[in-house]
Amino acid sequence: MDFYSQVGKVALGSRLRRLSETFTEDAAKIYSLYETNLDPKWFPVFYVLSHQESASITEIAQKIGHSHPSVSQIVKEMSKKKLVKIDKSAEDARVSVVKLSDIGKQLIPNLDKQQLDVTQVVEDLLAEMQHDLWKAIEEVEFLLANQSFFERVKEIHKVRERQQVEIIDYKSEFHDEFKRLNYEWIEKYFKLEEADRQSLNHPNEKILATGGHIYMARSNSEIVGTCALIKVDDDTYELAKMAVTETAKGKGIGWLLGQAAINKAHELGAKTVFLESNTALAPAINLYQKLGFQKVVRPSSHYERCNIQMELKLN
């Protein structure tokens, strides 16, 4: 059985590479047939230079969508074959300008014939196909320019990881994890304050007994995150003590905890949920904004590390 039929669409990249290699092998034979003596990978650079007197490496890279180092390497290879000449720009000596040599220009007539014939073959090939490969490639390139293949896989991976996470209510047996998770991030970026010690050492008295709530995130039987909702009054709650262990970050656990806390605030009849943080914690601030929090000015915080306050109005 053909490998790609067996493996399926997960091997898309490998299959495209195989197709590319097939075209490249034939391209080398075609260049030889028309006595143009070009390495197939040089064609985009050669094409640009055959349609204008000269161009800088940066200009060529922009036109053909290659990186500057890639074009620079191709130009060096073409220079060794005496197909191009490299000079310094008259306007800026720091810029290298490339132009076809006389030897390079002599290839243009044969290359023009080659292009006409190859174009005809491509059109004939596409006409034989049920689907227009050229348009499909354009569409794929457009879609991947908006969101890369890696980013798309990363999103699916995150969703899969989230599905393995449980958001559960705090129990006294989780006290050590509740403390550890918060100590981890506080001591990494700031210093532990007395207000931290009070709520972390006595969560039952300082958070739960006063009408608040604590959630824990569990993944594969391990506690990996936590978040507290602290009651200020009947209308106002504070989102606090959100922490995710370092090895579990990037899985969307903070989002799940934040959503659970906001839903709980709704359930408790809150009108406002606020939080206090520090702008040095950019990923956390970004998360809060995605959850709907906006920067506000509230009474001074009792935490020295706080330099931003955010608020979410509930309907």
pLDDT digits (tens, 9 = 90+) for 231-285: 999 999 999 999 999 988 888 899 999 999 999 999 999 999 999 999 999 999 9
Global confidence as pTM: 0.60
Q: In a 3-state reduction of DSSP, which class is residue 172? A: helix
User: What is the predicted pLDDT for the residue at 257?
Assistant: 97
User: What's the CA gap between 24 and 156, in Å, rounded?
Assistant: 33
206 closest CA partner among 178, 186, 184: 178
The tokens for 289 are: 């904004």
In this structure, which amino acid lies at residue 151? E
User: What is the predicted pLDDT for the residue at 213?
Assistant: 97
The single residue listed with the structure tokens 């989230």 is 162
Residue 293: Cβ-neighbour burial (10 angstroms; 0-12, 13-18, 19+):
buried
pLDDT tens, the chain, 315 aa long: 477 778 888 888 888 888 889 988 998 899 889 888 889 899 999 999 999 999 999 999 999 999 999 999 999 999 999 999 998 877 777 788 999 999 999 999 999 999 999 999 999 998 999 988 889 989 998 999 999 989 988 888 888 888 889 999 999 999 999 999 999 999 999 999 999 999 999 999 999 999 999 999 999 889 999 999 999 999 999 999 999 999 888 888 999 999 999 999 999 999 999 999 999 999 999 999 999 999 999 888 889 999 999 999 997
Helix (H) or strand (E) holding 309: strand 308-313
End-to-end CA distance of the chain: 59
Long-range CB contacts (within 8 A, 24+) of 97-100: 97/54, 97/55, 97/56, 98/45, 98/49, 98/54, 98/55, 98/56, 98/57, 98/60, 99/49, 99/53, 99/54, 99/55, 100/46, 100/49, 100/50
Q: In a 3-state reduction of DSSP, which class is residue 225? A: strand
> Cα-flanking dihedrals φ and ψ of residue 101, to 5°?
-80, 175
**Contact (Cβ atoms closer than 8 angstroms) between residue 58 and residue 89:** no
Angle, helices 175-189 vs 194-201, to 10°: value is 160
User: What's the CA gap between 249 and 229, in Å, rounded?
Assistant: 21
> Cα-flanking dihedrals φ and ψ of residue 155, to 5°?
-65, -45
Q: Do you know the residue count of the chain? A: 315
**Contact (Cβ atoms closer than 8 angstroms) between residue 47 and residue 119:** no
> Tens of pLDDT along 136-168?
989 998 999 999 989 988 888 888 888 889 999
Which parts of 29-88 are beta strand (E)?
A: 55-56, 84-88
Give the HSE-up count for residue 176: Cα atoms under 13 Å, Cβ half-sphere.
2
In this structure, which amino acid lies at residue 196? D
**Percent of residues, the chain, with pLDDT higher than 90:** 69
* Alpha helix (H) residue ranges in 238-310: 253-267, 282-290
> Cα-flanking dihedrals φ and ψ of residue 144, to 5°?
-75, -25
User: What's the CA gap between 62 and 67, in Å, rounded?
Assistant: 8
User: What is the predicted pLDDT for the residue at 95?
Assistant: 81
Q: In angstroms, how far is CA 91 from the centroid of its own chain?
A: 39
User: What's the CA gap between 225 and 227, in Å, rounded?
Assistant: 7
User: What's the CA gap between 238 and 179, in Å, rounded?
Assistant: 18
Helix (H) or strand (E) holding 310: strand 308-313
User: What is the predicted pLDDT for the residue at 241?
Assistant: 95
Domains and CATH numbers, the chain: 34-146 (1.10.10.10), 160-313 (3.40.630.30)
User: What is the predicted pLDDT for the residue at 94?
Assistant: 79
Judging by DSSP bridges, how do beta strands 96-100 and 55-56 pair with one another?
A: antiparallel
> 92 vs 56, 66, 87, 95, CA distance in Å?
11, 23, 11, 6
264 closest CA partner among 165, 167, 180: 167
User: What is the predicted pLDDT for the residue at 1?
Assistant: 46
